[in-house]
Structure 1
Amino acid sequence: MVTTEFHIFLWHVGSHSWVRRSNLDSLIHRVVVFKGQVFGMHSIDGLFKVHLVPRIRLQNISVDLGKSMGRLKDAKMWLVACGDMLLMVGCPSSVPSIGDTLEAFRLDLSVQRAKWVKVEKLENWAIFISIDGRSQALCCMDPEKWGGRSNCIYYYDSKEWIACELGKPLKVGASTPRFECAHMMQPMWVVPSMFYSFL
């Protein structure tokens, strides 16, 4: 699957051409695989599911934002599969800064109209996000095994790492030492094979 601004291109193994689906009228921000299904997002209230059989089609999912998430409608958002939850992580500003609070919301598909439900704690999970849209958000169980912290969101901007506890304002000193990085080089989270059994 390849996504551009307004299109999704899919290639079936054994096929000789790409199939294009373009019935979305806005920018595709995130695509994630959750419980064997492909979900995508083109806005905070614009969620869709990609069906691959018997034919490729996109199904828009109507989602109730609720009061707590409604105020983040223009915020920076990340879609991430975290265990048995599909989460939306949000920050009120485009770049998390001192005083900002990162929040997470779980997609509840058990009701007639899907809704986002606020998550108070990530329990024994940690989430990794980046301002660069090319870097897929990633979650990791039991981060203490490699020296990380549970219920924590690790954020990377162009020069520093920031560790922020879910639901708590970002404090001075939460970042790690800065390091220089070329603008064309951005991080991509990679899960070593030793962690596959934990995800």
Structure 2
Amino acid sequence: MGIRGKRRRSGDSPSGGADDDHPAPQDWVALNDALLLLIFDRLHSLRDVFVFSAVCRTWRAISLPTFSTLLPFRPPLLLRPVGTPLPSGVPRCRLRRPHRCDLLTPTDPSASYRSIVSRRALSHPFLGYSYGYLIFGGSRPFLANPFTGDEFFPPLLTSDELASFSCAALTAPLSSPDSNLLLCSSHFVLRWRAGDVHWSKHTLELQGTPIRQIITFNGQAFAFLTDDRLFVINFSPYFSMRQLVVPWADGGLQFWIFAPPQLVECDGQLLMVHFSAVKEQMLLSTIRVYRLDGSKMVWTRVDTLGDWALFVDIRGKSTASCSNPSRWGGNANCIYCTGPSCDTWVVLPLDGVVSTMDCQSPLFHNQFYSADIPSPVWMYPSTLF
């Protein structure tokens, strides 16, 4: 999805000649950074950002660290795979591989936009989303930009590097010198940096426990395992993973069902969204949020998100947070949740109860859905990083 602006040469009038009575509009390039940031702050939706960038290309020259501080004030877009319609009576959980994707925005749920990610890309195992790119697996993993259609191909994997990968992520924007592409299996991690001619392989001592999620928080990469263990990933002077022993402040959790816990960065804190079974009612799930207390190294229960909203997908491929959602018509202190076969999303309150048997629930189809088939993910364009 993209919008191109037409640039007029300086001094040209619409009729092709000079017109002193109707001077040409001021060039956007004359705007200083402070004014550009002020305008950007008033753009509540990512669609508005696309329109603005079409007529004002100089906004990309703004310092990215300054620019990225405004990102949490905008909700992410939802990338929704669209499959071939099934015959009447066939369960939606048997959805075929999607042939295209649509983009939806919480600021206008009724509108949708076509993503130009290729059908060929969607035929590959889907491993995750990171910094504006979809990451696909196979014998030659690659990244796809759903806004431009561009595909980026790292080196081919060798025979001893092939595996069933549980997740993948970038540790920084692809253009950053600190960016690492990580592919995670149960027994090793593959690491690739832009410009390298091959992957580096790092054996794991995790008793075969898969890595569920890779997240970057405060400049540090974390690995979250399927048994809820948390590790810090170091790349210098050599690759290593160090476990953080983080107990539960409330003594523990009920086991999760149909949806694994997920890490979310929110307002400078690392949060965990946990769906756990209701005692004696296995068809119901409660929603709890925990915060990593770095001073005591414990998971502490969060009673309120304040003026923030969280965005998660049940498959655990992407998470996000947004401040002051009321500015675009959203709800604070809630979790925007999506999952396989969901047309859009559901808004869940903290400490809410979700049915796992309701066909409209994001939890319902997750129990039947193939792990490598693309499912809805929350995302931001790569140009914003």
TM-score interval, smaller chain: 0.7 to 0.9
Closer, same or farther: CA 45–190 of 1 in aligned 2, 3 Å: closer
Deviation at 1:5, TM superposition (A): 2.8
Letter in 2 for 1:187: P
1:107 aligns with 2:292: yes
Report the equivalent of 1:128.
311
Contact 1:98 1:169 in 2 (8 A): no
Q: Aligned residue for 1:188? A: 377
Q: What is the number of equivalent residue pairs in this alignment?
A: 182
- Indicate how the Cα distance of structure 1 residues 149 and 193 shifts in structure 2: closer, same or farther if over 3 A, else same: farther
Residue pair 2:318, 2:379 contacting (<8 A) in 1 also: no
Percent of residue pairs identical = 27
Which residue number in structure 2 is paired with residue 30 of structure 1?
Answer: 213
Is the Cα–Cα contact under 8 Å of residues 45 and 62 in structure 1 kept in the other structure? no
Rounded Cα–Cα distance in structure 2 between residues aligned with 1:82 and 1:118: 15
DSSP 3-state at the match of 1:189:
strand
Distance in 1, matches of 2:382 and 2:182, equals 25
C-alpha contact 1:103 1:166 (8 A) present in aligned 2:
yes
User: What do the CA deviations read for 1:90-132 (whole angstroms, capped 9, x no partner)?
Assistant: 0114xxx985321110111212xx2100111111111111122
Residues 1:154 and 2:336 are matched in the alignment:
yes
Aligned residue number for residue 71 of structure 1: 253
The counterpart of 2:193, out of the listed 1, 5, 12, is 12
Q: Is residue 234 of structure 2 the alignment partner of residue 54 of structure 1? A: no
Distance 1:123 1:44, change over 3 A: farther
1:82 correspondence with 2:266: yes
Partners of 1:168 and 1:2 in 2: CA distance: 34
Which residue matches 2:321? Answer: 139
Contact kept in structure 1, 2:304 and 2:350, CA below 8 Å: yes
Q: Provide the rounded CA distance (Å) in 2 between the counterparts of 1:119 and 1:44.
A: 21
Name the structure 2 match of 1:164: 348
User: Aligned with 1:163: secondary structure?
Assistant: strand
1:55-102, Cα deviation, whole Å (9 max, x unpaired)? 22111111112335x123445311111121101100114xxx985321
1:53 alignment partner, SS class: coil
The TM-score with structure 1 as length reference comes to 0.78
**Equivalent residues of 1:45, 1:63 under 8 A apart:** no
Letter of the aligned partner of 1:82 in structure 2? Answer: C
Question: What secondary structure is seen at the aligned counterpart in 2 of 1:2?
Answer: strand
How far does residue 33 in structure 1 lie from its aligned partner after superposition? 0.7
Supply the distance in 1 between the matched residues of 2:333 and 2:283 (Cα, whole angstroms): 18
What SS is found at the alignment partner of 1:101?
Answer: strand
Pair 1:185–1:128, CA change in 2 (3 A):
same
SS in 2 for 1:144: helix
- Structure 1 pair 73/48, CA: closer, same or farther in 2 (3 Å)? farther
Query: 2: CA distance between counterparts of 1:140 and 1:192?
Result: 15
| Equivalent-residue separation in structure 1 for 2:250 and 2:203 (angstroms) | 31
CA RMSD, 1 decimal:
2.9
Partner Cα separation in structure 1 for residue 381 and residue 327 of structure 2: 13
User: How many Å separate the matches in 2 of 1:157 and 1:60?
Assistant: 30
Could you say which residue in structure 2 is the equivalent of 1:179?
Answer: none
- Which string of whole-angstrom CA distances, capped at 9 and with x for unpartnered residues, describes residues 20-78 of structure 1? 2232331111111101111111135410011122222111111112335x123445311
In structure 2, the gaps of 5 or more residues are 1-180, 362-368
Using the alignment, how far apart are the partners of 1:3 and 1:20 within structure 2? 10
Paired with 2:380 and 2:225, the residues of 1 have a C-alpha distance of 26
Secondary structure at the aligned position of 1:100 is classed as strand
Structure with more of its chain in helix, by fraction: 2
Secondary structure of residue in 1 paired with 2:377: coil
